[in-house]
């Protein structure tokens, strides 16, 4: 009875190395990280780095790695969060370690809620990243107390800002919300006037009122407010474009 060739059997050293999948939207990051990992005694790549959330899901389903180190900076912003949920379903033994950048506290909270095992700042060095990956693979908490304290502080600031943003939006009338929605889509005053069947002078009046109620100084700042808060991503569709002024 034939046996398996010795060359195909994993060495004890290979068995001790945790298997990882790298996922990031920037090749310079994933390729550099992959080069640094190769040959490391504690971690190995289960497959080549991937550059999209869908590819990360596929790689984890195929390789069933111990851990996936995942950047969340994809477009649209929720793609990485959805991928975490799918990975947890298709590769339940795979720990998801989120690589987070400055100002991504909101995404971190969403990622943990979706099933991520922990998070690591992109400013950390390779040694810290590998130790975090090993901790995640063991099922240990990845962030230390300082990181958790900072996250709580920043998350509370985000919640406060979110409450403030919702309060400002509540000040707008239904018509002003319609105008703001069209502004955020890049519409000019003349197009808004035609869409809402009102005069351009009325549009300008609505815009002045919007700027005052939102506490911003220009149309561009109003659009930035919408993009920053995701106002119309969470709100139900506004009144009919032919509603009253």
Q: Please list, residue by residue across 208-218, b when 16 or more beta carbons sit within 10 angstroms of its beta carbon and e when fewer do.
A: ebbbebbebee
Every domain of the chain and the residues it spans: 8-151, 171-234
Cβ 99 vs Cβ 74: under 8 Å: no
Predicted pLDDT at 144: 52
Tell me which CATH code domain 8-151 carries: 3.40.50.2300
What is the rounded CA–CA span in Å between residue 34 and residue 113?
A: 28
Mean pLDDT of 15-19: 79
Question: How many C-beta atoms surround the C-beta of residue 20 within 10 A?
Answer: 30
Judge whether residue 191 has pLDDT over 90. Answer: yes
- To the question of domain 171-234 being in CATH 1.10.10.10, the answer is yes
Q: Which residue has the higher pLDDT, 226 or 201?
A: 201
């Amino acid at each position: 009875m034939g046996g398996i060739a010795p060359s195909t059997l994993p060495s004890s050293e290979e068995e001790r190395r945790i298997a990882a999948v790298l996922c990031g939207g920037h090749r310079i990051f994933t390729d550099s990280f992959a080069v640094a990992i190769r040959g490391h005694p504690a971690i190995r790549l289960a497959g080549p780095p991937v550059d999209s959330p869908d590819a990360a899901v596929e790689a984890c389903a195929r390789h069933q790695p111990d851990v996936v180190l995942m950047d969340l900076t994809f477009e649209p912003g929720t793609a990485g969060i959805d991928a975490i949920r799918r990975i947890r379903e298709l590769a339940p033994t795979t720990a998801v370690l989120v690589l987070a950048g400055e100002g991504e506290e909101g995404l971190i909270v969403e990622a943990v809620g979706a099933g991520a095992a922990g998070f690591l700042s992109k400013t950390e060095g390779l040694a810290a990243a590998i130790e975090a990956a090993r901790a995640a693979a063991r099922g240990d908490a990845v962030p230390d107390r300082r990181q958790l304290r900072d996250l709580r502080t920043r998350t509370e600031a985000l919640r406060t800002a979110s409450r403030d943003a919702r309060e400002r939006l509540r000040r707008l009338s239904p018509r002003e919300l319609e105008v703001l929605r069209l502004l955020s889509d890049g519409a000019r005053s003349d197009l808004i006037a035609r869409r809402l069947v009102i005069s351009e002078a009325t549009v300008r009046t609505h815009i002045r009122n919007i700027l005052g109620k939102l506490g911003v100084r220009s149309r561009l700042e109003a659009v930035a407010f919408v993009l920053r808060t995701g106002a119309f991503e969470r709100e139900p569709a506004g009144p009919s474009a032919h509603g009253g002024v």
